[in-house]
Homo-oligomer: A and B are copies of this chain.
């Protein structure tokens, strides 16, 4: 840190240089992120409320009111009246809150080491959460890249505190059979959390496919909580995660007294918490409504189908599975995925590589347009042929 401050102009010249080192969503060349360019209307609202702190909601009653309206709207979108929850920093905090609730409920009547049953392809946040909480993760194998429901019950023990299911896996965007998992959770009286960080802002807006209805929300009676992130397909700026909870008493398990603040209790992990994300989310939900999100989601889904079909025509490419949402996974014959990734990066394309399966992964977020895909496929073909 300098003794004396620097001139503003020279600082902003440096900031421009840092900015040049960053990629932009606008360029269409980020093909492996679940985040996207924030919507300008949401950003405008974000900036209006940038000084507000929902960690001290008595100071910012307008922001607190917006948060409760957002939770109500998201709850209803997920078929739940009188939802509880919060707008938090992201999927990790939301999943963390759900797992903490399940642990506290478990410890009310048990003293063993609590276990959580989750599919092998659960998001890496659970690899943070479980050891932090001192909860034992019990991984269930997959069948066709989704949690194998037929074996879940074999993994239940007296120490099982919860089941986690995915509505939009991070690597493939696949949706577990949550209706069936919900029945298993109910039968065994287990807490069920659905990680729909990604799928939560997609599935409710998709055209109904009767062959594969993707039931994933509170209409499945065993579902206790759902992670749904406005800062992914909801187009809100980071940080905007969401946790929606069926039973208010469950949220209250997280309650900690907050002496000296304006409200007596706090139920999020994070303390000081921007109200700007809530303002952005409130604004976007009102601005787009269901029909607006349907349009956005179905554009991404159409582009996913288009891209899938384009890739299918390249003989060296093997597609992993038919996408449920807007993520495509593939391998190239006789070419290591990380090598291909590096070659594409040199040509300016950021594609990601998943681990299970070890394959190329494309996420078709709203900042990706058809012209980008056309350009990308051309480059991909060239790289494959140059081999």
Contacts and interface: CB of A to CB of B under 8 A. Distances in A.
A3 B262 contact: no
A347 interface: no
A272 B50 contact: no
Contact of A59 (B6, B23, B237, B279): B23
A260 B354 contact: yes
A93 B1 contact: no
A307 interface: no
A348 B82 CA distance: 32
A49 B19 contact: yes
Nearest to A20: B62
B22 A62 contact: yes
B33 A53 contact: yes
Nearest to A341: B262
A260 to B, nearest CB: 4
A287 B5 contact: yes
Contact of A43 (B50, B127, B285): B50
Interface in A238-265: 238-239, 241, 254, 256-262
B66 A48 contact: no
Contacts of A85: none
A366 interface: no
A352 interface: yes
B19 A272 contact: no
B4 A289 contact: yes
A35 interface: yes
A63 interface: yes
A1 B51 contact: no
Contact of A257 (B30, B35, B127): B127
Nearest to A356: B259
A92 interface: yes
Interface string A79-91: 0000000000111
Given A1-B289, A271-B92, A354-B260, A239 B239 contact: yes
Contacts of A356: 259
Contacts of A21: 60-62, 65
A239 B1 contact: no
Interface in A9-24: 11-12, 14-15, 17-24
Contacts of A1: 73-74, 76-77, 285, 289-290
Interface string A19-56: 11111110000101111011001011111111111011
Interface of A: 1-6, 8, 11-12, 14-15, 17-25, 30, 32-35, 37-38, 41, 43-53, 55-56, 58-63, 65-66, 73-74, 76-77, 89-93, 96, 100, 104, 124-125, 127-128, 131-134, 170-171, 229, 231, 237-239, 241, 254, 256-262, 266, 269-275, 279, 283, 285-292, 350, 352-356, 361
23 contacts: A1-B74, A4-B289, A4-B290, A8-B41, A15-B45, A15-B48, A19-B62, A20-B62, A22-B59, A33-B53, A89-B89, A89-B239, A100-B132, A124-B266, A124-B271, A128-B254, A133-B134, A239-B274, A241-B272, A259-B355, A259-B356, A260-B352, A260-B354
- Top 5 nearest A-B pairs (CB, nearest first) are A21-B62, A18-B62, A259-B355, A5-B289, A2-B289
